[in-house]
Amino acid sequence: MDLKQYIRDIPDFPKPGIVFKDITPLLLTPKVFSHIVQTFVDRYKNSRLDKIVGIESRGFLFGAVLAERLSVGFALARKKGKLPYKTREVTYELEYGTDTIEMHVDALNPEDRVLIIDDLLATGGTALAAAQLVEKFGATVVGLSFVVQLGALGGANRLKNYEIFSQVVYN
């Protein structure tokens, strides 16, 4: 299935010069959404996963369904201040400044094998921080998966120490 036909380009969003890849049409079409989830299921069904970590917020959409289909736990990686319980966190560099993601302290166990999922891989900063956060728990990152990868932005290079899988790659 050609997923690119369901991804909309939004010029100058969120700022001038950026072409935003809008995945909402993928979500509007049940057979397309199902195809995406099944592709992830087929890839990871034999990976002995314990948990899936979804990165805020579109990673929640794919990660929760995938976790249910693979009968594993689902944990949230959110921006600082969004989780109500005690957390562990990782702060990472942005182009101009820093950001922090966190997870509840009881989200992962040291023996867990974890798949991290998000909708899009761009520069890789958030995904790398999520991997570092998973490792802070002593858990093992089995891989990082994305629906869309913007190859020209170099995110895969930042994540070269991990297995990366993307269903759609723009170069």
- Is 58 a residue of the active site? yes
Lookup: tokens for 140: 């093992």
Residue 89 appears among annotated catalytic residues? no
In a domain, 47, yes or no: yes
For residue 10, being part of any structural domain is answered with no
pLDDT digits (tens, 9 = 90+) for 3-18: 999 999 999 999 999 9
Return the number of other C-beta atoms located less than 10 Å from residue 24's C-beta.
Answer: 10
The pTM for the full model equals 0.96
Residues 58, 93, 111, 135: which is the catalytic one? 58
Q: Residue 167 above 90 pLDDT?
A: yes
**Active-site residue, selected from the candidate residues 48, 95, 135, 163:** 95
72 within some domain: yes
CATH value at residue 76: 3.40.50.2020
Identify the bridge partners of residue 101 per DSSP, sorted by sequence position.
79, 90
pLDDT of res. 107: 98
Yes or no: say if 148 and 119 are a contact pair by the CB < 8 Å rule.
yes
Six-digit token pair at 70?
């693979």
Which residues, listed in sequence order, are joined to residue 87 by a DSSP beta bridge? 104
What per-residue confidence (pLDDT) applies to 94?
Answer: 80
Domain annotation covers residue 69? yes
**Is residue 41 within a helix (H) or strand (E), and if so which, with residue range?**
helix 30-44
Average pLDDT, rounded, for the chain? 96
